[in-house]
Amino acid sequence: MERISLRAPAKVNIRLDVLGKRPDGYHEIKTWIYPISLADELHIEKVNTTKIIISSAHPELPLGEENLAYRAAALFMKERGLSGGVKIEIIKRIPLAAGLGGGSSDAAAVLKGMNILWGANVPPDGLMEIGVKIGADVPFFILGKGAIMGGKGVRVVKFLPPLKAWMVLINPGLPLSTQQVYQQGKWGLTKEGGDNRILMPPQDLKKMGDFLHNDLEGPALELMPIIENIKGRLHEAGASGVLMTGSGPTVFGLFRSEAEARRATRDLKMEEEWICFVAHTLSDS
């Protein structure tokens, strides 16, 4: 096989607890994540050069070494001692720096795709180990199903049961840097033993509102107050729960059916620069 096309889904964090700052400077978190149907599309092709070539029509996406897909390709070749080159076209649908994990998902798709194209047969655990070196969400996207992730966000604590939910996502059309949001928060050092609670989300969407929680929402709101307006609009449109995902600024509102979610998008008062998506949680791939 010389060419493969893969979807790289976005994610939503239905809960994110920051447990504290670690002595190494990273933050210890525990987060409940599901992949969703909003996705980038990647076309990956084996070529007879020694280059990694990334292309995309997206005007702001870096195409060189800063691209996480590039880094994934370079690392996969290095770790497996492979030769040759690869061409990767990214059809970018997930907004950048949005808390939706787009870059990490692209990187995970490249690792999975190259594993198939080169017949390397690296098991998921092995791909996750390579993924950790690229970005905190890459191991989650290698798994590709609902999970509670711990540590820096890279370790599976427990798998989550499949969740059937529709959602309306609103992005204010502005990026928010993950690093800046963590810096804005005031967190003490992690406590010995940490927080060992493993809360499981309710299956009934009506009860989900009380479960949704994100420790990064406060600091993100201080940096971008518009997030509060977006939350208000989604509540007004009838969402059964509303939360900012990851380090933001994208906010999602949960709905029981596609019809309800689509109706909400018609009722919603949107500002001109806001971007809106309707999506659903993905079942196990």
Q: What is the DSSP letter of 64?
A: S
How far apart are alpha carbons 139 and 122 in whole angstroms? 14
How far apart are alpha carbons 126 and 238 in whole angstroms? 43
Nearest Cα to Cα of residue 14 among 192, 190, 160, 196:
160
Q: Nearer Cβ to ligand ATP, position 104 or 281?
A: 104
- For residue 169, state whether it binds ligand ATP (rule: CB under 6 A): no
- For residue 67, state whether it binds ligand ATP (rule: CB under 6 A): yes
Nearest Cα to Cα of residue 106 among 159, 64, 160, 44:
44
Angle at which helices 68-80 and 102-117 pack, to 10 degrees?
A: 30
Residue 261 tokens, joined? 């979610």
- For residue 173, state whether it binds ligand ATP (rule: CB under 6 A): no
Catalytic residue status for 195:
no
Binder of ligand ATP out of 104, 115, 171, 240 (CB under 6 A): 104
Q: Nearer Cβ to ligand ATP, position 74 or 236?
A: 74
Shortest Å distance, C-beta 178 to ligand ATP:
4
- For residue 222, state whether it binds ligand ATP (rule: CB under 6 A): no
Window contacting ligand ATP (CB under 6 A); options: 43-51, 92-100, 235-243, 263-271: 92-100
Window contacting ligand ATP (CB under 6 A); options: 20-28, 97-105, 126-134, 251-259: 97-105
- How many residues sit close enough to ligand ATP to count as binding (CB under 6 A)? 22
- For residue 247, state whether it binds ligand ATP (rule: CB under 6 A): yes
Nearest Cα to Cα of residue 62 among 171, 223, 142, 175:
175
- For residue 184, state whether it binds ligand ATP (rule: CB under 6 A): no
How far apart are alpha carbons 35 and 31 in whole angstroms? 13
Which residues bind to ligand ATP, rule: CB under 6 A? Answer: 61-62, 66-69, 90, 96-104, 106, 137, 175, 178, 246-247
